[in-house]
């Protein structure tokens, strides 16, 4: 039920506009072979349709095609790694992600499939893409956990350092361009040549798509909003000079970087409203349609009115795998993290009471509210935030090196 947010830069709202391509492509020609698997030209075209809203101007050209192909090659080697080490994505995780996107579009699954069809996207392939994005996120999280260890001393030093920006709430929206440095002199000359030609954000976007080796290249280098203290320290030092919006070249172990500061903000929220809740979820399935699911939820509601225990009924009947074994307990839920129907009913239900059955894209719910509070998150999880910031500062380089290792071990033939 938790919203699937674009952390992984990922799940994107679909464009209502026509997705016709600006240039012809050779349908089903082989674009590349990775190990024993092929990437087809039609695969690249379909991927463009799915991510079109992330591509500046939404135009398909040779540079966009190349960046999509590079991303798909990276994903293939990561998926093969996930298969080897046993990382999987459950169908329920994919269902929740797809339904979350549908909810943001104000429709149900049937309506969402219709939207996809209008844009020339097969639902099966879209769902496979969502599954793939979740898999990539899970793989990267595991690699980060295995390869980055933050000590207590590092956390304390971070919190005490005036240069760490541990207390700042500044967030920045950046564009990023990376030139890898397999040959340092060539990479340095290339980044300097690119930098000399950038006079505007439009120039930066154009060169990111055509020249960047970074994972955000196809989006014009857009990294989205990020906390300033979670950026690599090299970036932070450059950004705090205040000479922008164009920064760089900056040299790191990964290569040479250029940055464009799109915007900066200081979030005003200090206290976070939280609700302690539990719920029962009844989902339609192959043997129980929507109406029958509603009727069953109403039956459970009547049993609650007759004095049966909410936690016991949730444990026996709820179909939310994440909370059923805990008697439906969702713990403390932050405002804005649930789908709109659940959020609204949870806020309307008084403490100590439960709601009537209501419907969301996931099925029929009954929610019980056990408490409410305003939590001073910044104080409560200060050390956890410091650890996250330290991990975020290191993870780009770690993941880049790990991906290079995978690609060096794989057979890759770009046609």
- Residue 173: count of CB within 10 angstroms of its CB: 15
Cα–Cα distance for residue pair 105/15, rounded to 1 Å: 10
Which domains occur in the chain, in start order? 6-147 (1.10.4030.10), 152-268+380-410 (3.10.50.40), 272-375 (3.10.50.40)
Cα–Cα distance for residue pair 165/99, rounded to 1 Å: 38
User: pLDDT band at residue 162, thresholds of 50, 70 and 90?
Assistant: low
- The reported pLDDT for the residue numbered 24 is 45
- Residue 326: count of CB within 10 angstroms of its CB: 15
- The reported pLDDT for the residue numbered 15 is 37
- Which residue reads 């059955």 in tokens? 357
pLDDT digits (tens, 9 = 90+) for 13-35: 343 333 344 444 445 689 999 98
Give yes or no for residue 163 having a pLDDT over 80.
Answer: no
The half-sphere exposure of 188 on its side-chain side, counting CA atoms within 13 A, is 6
Cα–Cα distance for residue pair 159/141, rounded to 1 Å: 24
160-164, 229-233, 397-401 — most confident range: 397-401
CA distance readout (Å), 142 to 189, 246, 367: 36, 34, 33
Q: Give 69-105 as a DSSP string.
A: HHHHHHHHHHHHHHHHHT----HHHHHHHHHHHHHHT
122-131, 232-241, 317-326, 380-389: the lowest-pLDDT one: 380-389
Q: Which residue has the higher pLDDT, 246 or 394?
A: 246
Cα–Cα distance for residue pair 43/23, rounded to 1 Å: 15
Cα–Cα distance for residue pair 353/214, rounded to 1 Å: 51
Region for residue 140 given its phi and psi (left: phi exceeds 0; alpha: psi -120 to 50; beta: otherwise): alpha
Listed residue (54, 72, 57) closest to 221, CA to CA: 54
- Residue 102: count of CB within 10 angstroms of its CB: 21
Give yes or no for residue 10 having a pLDDT over 50.
Answer: no
Listed residue (2, 363, 9) closest to 217, CA to CA: 9
pLDDT digits (tens, 9 = 90+) for 197-252: 999 999 999 999 999 999 899 999 999 998 888 888 889 889 888 788 999 899 98
275 Cβ contact partners less than 8 Å away, ≥ 6 residues apart: 332, 333, 335, 346, 347, 369, 371, 372
Q: Residues for the chain: how many in total?
A: 415
Q: Which residue has the higher pLDDT, 272 or 365?
A: 365
Q: Which residue has the higher pLDDT, 21 or 87?
A: 87
Cα–Cα distance for residue pair 290/238, rounded to 1 Å: 56
Exposure b/e, 182-205, CB count within 10 A at least 16 = b = eeeeebbebbeebbeebeebeebb
Q: Cβ distance 11 to 113 under 8 Å?
A: no
CA distance readout (Å), 410 to 2, 43, 85, 114, 182: 36, 20, 16, 39, 18
- Three-state DSSP class for 139? helix
Pairing of strands 255-265, 272-282: unpaired
- The reported pLDDT for the residue numbered 378 is 55
Q: Cβ distance 12 to 116 under 8 Å?
A: no
- The reported pLDDT for the residue numbered 376 is 61
Listed residue (317, 337, 319) closest to 277, CA to CA: 337
- The reported pLDDT for the residue numbered 158 is 79
pLDDT digits (tens, 9 = 90+) for 181-200: 878 999 999 999 999 999 99
Mean pLDDT of 4-21: 37
User: pLDDT band at residue 168, thresholds of 50, 70 and 90?
Assistant: low
User: pLDDT band at residue 11, thresholds of 50, 70 and 90?
Assistant: very low
Mean pLDDT of 72-82: 92
Give yes or no for residue 298 having a pLDDT over 90.
Answer: yes
Q: Cβ distance 258 to 249 under 8 Å?
A: yes
Give the orientation angle of helix 382-409 with respect to helix 152-160, to 10 degrees.
120
Mean pLDDT of 273-284: 92
């Amino acid at each position: 039920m938790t919203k699937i947010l674009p952390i992984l830069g990922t799940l994107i709202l679909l464009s209502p506009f026509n997705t016709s391509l600006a240039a012809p492509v050779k349908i089903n020609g082989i674009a590349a072979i990775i190990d024993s698997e092929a990437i087809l030209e039609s695969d690249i075209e379909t991927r463009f349709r799915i991510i079109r809203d992330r591509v500046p101007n939404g135009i398909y050209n040779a540079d966009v095609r190349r960046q999509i192909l590079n991303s798909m090659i990276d994903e293939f080697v990561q998926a093969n790694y996930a298969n080897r080490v046993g990382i999987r994505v459950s169908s329920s995780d994919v269902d929740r992600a797809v339904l979350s996107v549908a909810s943001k579009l104000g429709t149900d699954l049937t309506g969402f499939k219709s939207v996809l069809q209008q844009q020339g996207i097969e639902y099966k392939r879209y769902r496979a893409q969502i599954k793939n994005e979740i898999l990539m996120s899970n793989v990267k999280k595991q690699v980060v956990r295995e390869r980055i260890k933050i000590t207590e001393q590092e956390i304390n030093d971070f919190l005490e350092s005036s240069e760490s920006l541990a207390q700042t709430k500044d967030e920045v929206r950046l564009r990023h361009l990376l030139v890898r440095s397999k040959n340092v002199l060539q990479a340095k000359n290339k980044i300097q040549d690119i930098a000399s030609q950038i006079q505007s954000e439009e120039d930066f976007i154009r060169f990111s798509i055509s020249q960047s080796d970074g994972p955000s290249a196809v989006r014009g280098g857009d990294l989205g909003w990020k906390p300033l203290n979670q950026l690599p320290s090299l970036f932070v030092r450059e950004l705090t000079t205040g000479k922008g919006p164009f920064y760089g070249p900056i040299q790191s172990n990964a290569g040479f970087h250029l940055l464009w500061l799109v915007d900066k903000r200081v979030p005003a929220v200090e206290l976070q409203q939280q609700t302690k809740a539990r719920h029962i979820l009844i989902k339609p399935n192959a043997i129980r349609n929507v109406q029958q699911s509603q009727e069953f939820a109403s039956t459970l509601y009547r049993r609650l009115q007759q004095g049966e225990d909410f936690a016991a009924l949730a444990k026996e009947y709820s179909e939310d795998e994440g909370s059923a074994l805990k008697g439906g307990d969702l713990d403390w839920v932050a405002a804005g993290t649930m789908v709109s129907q659940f959020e609204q009913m949870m806020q309307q239900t008084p403490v100590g009471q439960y709601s009537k059955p209501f419907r969301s894209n996931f099925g029929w719910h009954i929610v019980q509210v056990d408490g409410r509070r305003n939590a001073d998150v910044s104080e409560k999880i200060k050390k956890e935030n410091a650890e996250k910031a330290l991990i975020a500062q290191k993870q780009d380089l770690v993941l880049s090196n790990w991906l290079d290792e995978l690609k060096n071990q794989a057979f890759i033939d770009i046609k």
